């Protein structure tokens, strides 16, 4: 009996010692900061590279091109950048699964340029709980920025409220249109812009919204919505949708006799600031479309644009560099600058560093500013028009104070 007791006590004591050693080893093995080592920073990206919103996947290509350029120059403060990316097909259920993988398996330090409002909404609580920095989100939905959330820092597009105001103002004041129709993605992306546009119209006496048409992003047949709009006979159609429905709706309108001569067609940055629309809609159909953008034309003769185009074409020679790739490259520029400014790299210090950006002009974006009250980052847009296979800037820089909602327009470049 005594022998059995002694062996049992020895086994129990050994178990305590082994458990203690294991715990010590685990503590020693755990990284001080997730995704950061002496030689590497791990960054995540989620977005659609297949399905109806696949054109947004080119944001990843822009990020890759800039990360490779920075790594070829030695990285950031001695660390190389490593991107972990997954195709979520613009499906929130896949976004949830892939985000858990980025955090729990890949152990990323932060994410950069993640695509979409409904997709990011699906993981919002999880990433807030994790304290994961969500940098230059490719969504400007108010739920991520109003009020500011500590770990959501920057959008790769201007706020949806700002877009809506600019589109309505341009249609009314610049194009002298009085009767409008609104078409929108029937999602967490399109509906907030629709609401903001309906509110914006109230500031223009005599302007009427004659029709609203809901679009499903996965569909391509919008003949019913087109007929509804034609029957209302507006002199401008404003579309708050992703590229595929934006293009296919204009095709459907053209088929039944509505074109840019009979009714102006205006789109958001997300839906129209990409030359892929020429292929989706057809060159003749897409001509004269008005779109918003927050980045300069790839045809601009400036050193920043020339560097972007040359580096991007080295990596992706078969991809048009306009639109989404520019947003990816510019967002990566903001991310890298924040890394450079962060001396003791922790998630908390990294996020605080963004408040040092005050009208910073070191990216393709016109300027970047962050304050404790404003996490959008971008506050400027330009109106473009589709001409001869490219998007031609036709307005000056339109800027907004995201706190007051007031915007101003600089003179157009000559």
Question: Does residue 245 or residue 21 have the better pLDDT?
Answer: 245
pLDDT at 31 over 90: no
Q: Provide DSSP, 95-134.
A: HHHHHHHHHHTS--SEEES-B-HHHHHHHHHHHHHHT--E
What pLDDT band is residue 330 in, cutting at 50, 70 and 90? very high
**How confident is the model over 336-363, as a mean pLDDT?**
97
Measure the N-to-C terminal CA separation of the chain; round to a whole number of Å. 99
Question: Residue 170: which of 414, 395, 403, 397 has the closest Cα?
Answer: 395
Place of tokens 């993988």: 101
pLDDT at 248 over 80: yes
Average pLDDT over the chain, rounded to an integer: 90
Give the pLDDT confidence of 79-124 residue by residue, as tens digits: 999 999 999 999 999 999 999 999 999 999 999 999 999 999 999 9
Pairing of the two strands 179-185 and 208-215: parallel
Question: What pTM was estimated for this model as a whole?
Answer: 0.82
Q: Tokens at residue 224, please?
A: 């019913």
Q: What is the pLDDT of residue 20?
A: 43
What pLDDT band is residue 402 in, cutting at 50, 70 and 90? low
Q: What is the pLDDT of residue 252?
A: 97
Question: Residue 164: which of 149, 184, 179 has the closest Cα?
Answer: 184
**How confident is the model over 25-51, as a mean pLDDT?**
82
pLDDT at 223 over 70: yes
pLDDT at 397 over 80: yes
Measured CA to CA in angstroms, residue 243 lies from 53, 98, 195, 308, 382 at distances of: 7, 24, 20, 23, 18
Contact 368, 334 (CB under 8 A): yes
Q: Which of 81-85, 176-180, 294-298, 317-321 has the lowest mean pLDDT?
A: 294-298
Q: What is the pLDDT of residue 212?
A: 98
**How confident is the model over 393-410, as a mean pLDDT?**
81
| Other Cβ atoms closer than 10 A to 216 | 15
pLDDT at 209 over 50: yes
Measured CA to CA in angstroms, residue 59 lies from 99, 200, 312 at distances of: 17, 30, 12
Name the percent of the chain lying above pLDDT 70: 92
Measured CA to CA in angstroms, residue 413 lies from 157, 335, 394, 400 at distances of: 22, 29, 8, 19
**How confident is the model over 57-75, as a mean pLDDT?**
97
What pLDDT band is residue 296 in, cutting at 50, 70 and 90? confident
Contacts of 112 (CB under 8 A, 6+ apart): 43, 44, 45, 63, 83, 135, 136, 331, 332, 335
Give the integer Cα–Cα distance in Å for 115 and 136.
Answer: 10
Q: What is the pLDDT of residue 413?
A: 63
DSSP letter for 173, please.
I
Q: Tokens at residue 285, please?
A: 């159909």
392 Rama sector, left if φ>0, alpha if ψ -120 to 50, beta otherwise: beta
Q: Tokens at residue 386, please?
A: 């589709």
Q: What is the pLDDT of residue 91?
A: 95
Give the pLDDT confidence of 278-290 residue by residue, as tens digits: 888 998 999 999 9
Chain centroid to CA 106: how far? Answer: 22
Q: What is the pLDDT of residue 414?
A: 53
**How confident is the model over 380-406, as a mean pLDDT?**
84
What pLDDT band is residue 21 in, cutting at 50, 70 and 90? very low
Contact 240, 164 (CB under 8 A): yes
Q: Which of 159-173, 187-201, 215-229, 271-285 has the lowest mean pLDDT?
A: 271-285
Q: Tokens at residue 171, please?
A: 């249609």
- Using DSSP, state whether 205 is helix, strand or coil: coil
192 Rama sector, left if φ>0, alpha if ψ -120 to 50, beta otherwise: alpha
């Amino acid at each position: 009996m005594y022998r059995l007791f002694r062996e049992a006590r020895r086994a129990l004591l050994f178990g305590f010692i082994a458990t203690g050693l294991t715990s010590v080893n685990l503590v020693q093995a755990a990284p001080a900061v997730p995704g950061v080592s002496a030689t590497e920073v791990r960054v995540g990206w989620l977005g659609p590279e297949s399905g109806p919103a696949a054109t947004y996947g080119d944001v990843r290509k822009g990020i890759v091109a800039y990360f490779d350029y920075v790594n070829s120059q030695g990285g950031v403060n001695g660390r190389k950048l490593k991107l972990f990316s997954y195709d979520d097909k613009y499906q929130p259920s896949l976004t949830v699964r892939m985000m858990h993988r980025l955090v729990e398996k890949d152990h990323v330090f932060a994410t950069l340029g993640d695509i979409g409002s409904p997709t990011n909404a699906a993981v919002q609580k999880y990433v807030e709980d994790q304290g994961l920095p969500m940098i230059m989100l490719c969504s400007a939905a108010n739920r991520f920025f109003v009020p500011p959330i500590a770990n959501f820092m920057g959008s790769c597009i201007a706020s949806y409220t700002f877009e809506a105001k600019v589109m309505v103002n341009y249609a009314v004041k610049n194009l002298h249109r009085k009767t409008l129709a609104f078409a929108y993605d029937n999602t967490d992306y399109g509906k907030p812009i629709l609401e903001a546009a309906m509110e914006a119209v109230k500031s223009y006496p005599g302007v009427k919204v004659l029709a609203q048409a809901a679009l499903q992003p996965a569909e391509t047949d919008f003949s019913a919505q087109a007929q509804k709009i034609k029957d209302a006979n507006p002199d401008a159609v404003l579309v708050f949708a992703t590229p595929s429905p934006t293009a296919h709706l204009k095709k459907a309108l053209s088929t039944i006799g509505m074109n840019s001569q009979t009714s102006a067609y205006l789109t958001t940055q997300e839906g129209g600031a990409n030359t892929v629309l020429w292929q989706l809609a057809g060159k003749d159909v897409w001509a004269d479309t008005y779109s918003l953008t927050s980045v300069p034309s790839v045809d601009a003769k400036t050193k920043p644009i020339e560097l972007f185009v040359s580096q991007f074409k080295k990596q992706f020679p078969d991809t048009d560099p306009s639109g989404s790739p520019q947003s990816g490259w510019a967002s990566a520029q903001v991310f890298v600058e924040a890394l450079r400014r962060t001396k003791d790299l922790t998630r908390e210090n990294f996020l605080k560093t963004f408040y040092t950006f005050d009208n910073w002009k070191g990216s393709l974006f016109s300027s970047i500013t962050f304050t404790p009250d404003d996490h959008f980052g971008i506050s400027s847009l330009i109106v473009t028009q589709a001409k001869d296979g490219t998007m031609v800037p036709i307005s000056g820089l339109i800027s907004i104070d995201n706190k007051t909602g007031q915007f101003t327009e600089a003179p157009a470049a000559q």
